Amino acid sequence: MGKKGFKQLDIKITDEVAEQLAVECLTSPQLMQYICLSICTLLEDKNEHIVNFDMLEMAYKFTTVNFNYYDVVNVMSKGPNPRGKKRNLYKTLDGKELDLYGLIVESLDKNPPIMELDFDTVYDRIINLIPKTERKPDRNSVKSHLNNLQTILKEKEEIYKAIEW
């Protein structure tokens, strides 16, 4: 989509940049459309006709700022309504205190970005957020919380389907 569309608009994009764009949008044609629109908007503002890696990074940020991903992250971070139950909080290496939903979101935010994460990778990322001396969530709790997130996201609009568990 990126290469053909940009060619028709007389915008140059290398195979490497187009490949990175494709990988970023692998599971969402809508995301590809949003990012391509952001690229075109940014190029027009700068009166440029070349999409390089810097422009692609700016387009990612522009798309994020102009698309309300905050709502998606917020829904995931909050998890389901606790109905008065107090959630366990875990201290992170950077001093935050997060419940397990917050830890899941933080773990997905860590580099390297990966399109597909198996459970062990997600669990390891969560454990690596917590100091060695602190209490850690058990594997069953993480699985249960991932299932809860999946249920919540399935009930939302298509753009909320950020993870598939």
Q: What is the pTM of this model?
A: 0.61
- What's the pLDDT tens digit per position in 16-62? 999 999 988 877 787 888 899 999 999 999 999 999 999 999 998 88
Amino acid (1-letter code) at residue 54:
D
CB of 79 closer than 8 Å to CB of 99:
yes
Q: Going by DSSP bridges, is the β-strand pair 50-51/12-13 parallel, antiparallel, or unpaired? A: parallel
Measured CA to CA, the distance from residue 125 to residue 55 in angstroms comes to 30
3-state secondary structure of 28: coil
Nearest by Cα to 131 from 87, 99, 95: 95
**Residue 121 contacts residue 163 (beta carbons within 8 Å):** no
Q: Where are the domains of the chain?
A: 2-66, 69-160
Is the pLDDT higher at 121 or at 113?
Answer: 121
